[in-house]
Amino acid sequence: MEKYYRTFDANRADLVNLFREESVLDFEGQQIKGKEAILAKLTSILECRHDITDFNCLRHRTPGSMLVWVCGQTWVGGRRRYKPDVPSDANTRRRLLRRNTNLEAL
């Protein structure tokens, strides 16, 4: 997970091979489908930095996949993004699917 967020913070375009055409990104209530649409959304977000404090991997009901819950803090435009009702403001979920020997975001 740390590598994902380091890449996200440094050059999001390098994440393109983690997504497939079947991938779906839920972002602030909006569902974005497909590899190119997800990449376009990710690269449109302001410059940011993530500090990951914890993550947990769980088996998912889909064979060969897992659910990853990531906790930490996010800085956008040099300022900490803060939501008072959320204990850790970088909480995210990712479902990963095994494809050959690699895990990809789904």
**Domain locations in the chain?**
2-105
- Give the C-alpha separation, 31 to 9, whole Å: 22
pLDDT computed for residue 89 by the predictor: 45
| Lookup: tokens for 6 | 């380091």
The mean pLDDT of 36-55, rounded to a whole number, is 88
pLDDT tens per residue across span 82-104: 554 444 444 555 555 555 445 55
> Is domain 2-105 given the CATH code 3.10.450.50 in the classification?
yes
Q: Which two tokens stand for residue 94?
A: 């990712």
Strands (DSSP E) along the chain, which ranges?
24-27, 30-33, 48-59, 65-76, 79-81, 92-99, 102-105
Q: What is the mean pLDDT of residues 44-56?
A: 85
CB atoms within 10 A of CB 85: 5
CB 105 within 8 A of CB 92: no
The predicted structure's pLDDT at residue 86: 42
**Total-model pTM:** 0.66
